[in-house]
Amino acid sequence: MTVAAAAVLTLVGAAPATADRPVAAQTTAHHHGDDFTVVGHRGAAGYRPEHTLASYELAARMGADYVEPDLVTTKDGVLVARHEPEIGGTTDVARHPEFASRKTTKSLDGVEVTGWFTEDFTLAELKTLRAAERIPDVRQHNTIYDGRYEVPTFQEVIDLSKRLSRELHREIGIYPETKHPTFFRKQGKALEPTLVSILDKNGLNRRGAKVYVQSFEVSNLKELDPKLTVPLVQLTGATGAPFDFVDSGDPRTYADMTTASGLRDVARYADGLGPDKNQVIPRDSAGFLLSPTSLVRDAHRAGLTVHPYTFRAENSFLPADFRSSTVAAEYGDLFAEIATFRAAGIDGLFTDNSDVAIAQRDDRLARR
């Protein structure tokens, strides 16, 4: 068994089945002089169904500095944590005959998507559903938790982070992403006013608050810039363009935005960059890593921190350099991948396996 696999199995074995009363809270000492940021991507999505309180709690207990909820809205205007507004693949909604008529087809960022959408449900209705593992073929272990957890509200995530901060004696930050803001705005359900209101209400819209706000679109970050005092992060993809650009006819792409001049433009409204990790170190046609690009250097010169996404332990997500076999669901060498990207100068990362990232951070400190 690899070191990575052993560490993962140890933590999973000790982890709670629910988020209410966890046992054996295993956390490493926080930082000790290393300011590298570990973001629990959708919580601890490598070990629990994503965007559940159990997933967020496990990430925090593994040592993550931040937990990352993706935010969408309900029919009655409540922000909830789901990867997408369509919830057929992340909840048991298809098993609820009372909601069969809610199945519909909508254009989501220019793509026709059929399913059930959060904005067609009240919060009370969503709370009757239970979360399910999004990629069961890769994360079969997580399916044993299907049906156990509710869809959490953004406020519940904040409440959890405050409770765990007190219990763990270190501040657990939140790193919310506004999902598909143009899609929701066109339905008259803009996410941003509610996001600002919730941060205000919780005393989190202030300098020094352990909060980042992120988006793949640009116009909503520019709208938020004068309203929020916390850092904003521009997410970018290895291909394509922000949908608000596409929708308005702006020809610029993510590739344009991540040139040296494009990054200087980003720095006018944002404080950080969240690139696809392939924009930092691309891969060849066989999946092996090539040389790093100038992205990190150019972003730093523009004054932007760099937190790429997403670092995962399974072979299906790893560069070919670090895969352990041809079996997609088996663990490869995530430690080595993280070390390689840290050598490229990144300031932090999003990971589904916070325990591995924290162990790598601690190992690096021990060698100093």
Instruction: For tokens 């790093």, name the residue.
Output: 292
Q: How far apart are CA 163 and CA 172, in angstroms?
A: 9
Catalytic residue among 30, 31, 51, 83: 83
Q: How far apart are CA 213 and CA 228, in angstroms?
A: 9
Catalytic residue among 41, 51, 180, 307: 41
- Cα 70 to Cα 32, 86, 99, 351: the distances in Å are 29, 13, 23, 14
Adjacent-strand bridge partners of 38 = 349
At 112 the three-state DSSP class reads: strand
The end-to-end CA distance of the chain, in Å, is 27
| Cβ atoms of residues 234 and 307 within 8 Å | no
Q: How far apart are CA 311 and CA 325, in angstroms?
A: 18
Strands of the chain (E only): list them.
Answer: 37-41, 66-68, 70-73, 79-81, 104-108, 111-115, 173-174, 177-178, 213-215, 232-236, 272-275, 305-306, 348-351
| Cβ atoms of residues 346 and 19 within 8 Å | no
Per the annotation, the verdict on 31 as an active-site residue is no
Q: Which two tokens stand for residue 287?
A: 């999946």
| Cβ atoms of residues 289 and 283 within 8 Å | yes
Per the annotation, the verdict on 83 as an active-site residue is yes
Q: How far apart are CA 368 and CA 358, in angstroms?
A: 16
Adjacent-strand bridge partners of 274 = 235
Cβ neighbours of 165 (radius 10 Å): 15
Q: How far apart are CA 296 and CA 275, in angstroms?
A: 10
Catalytically active residues are: 41, 83
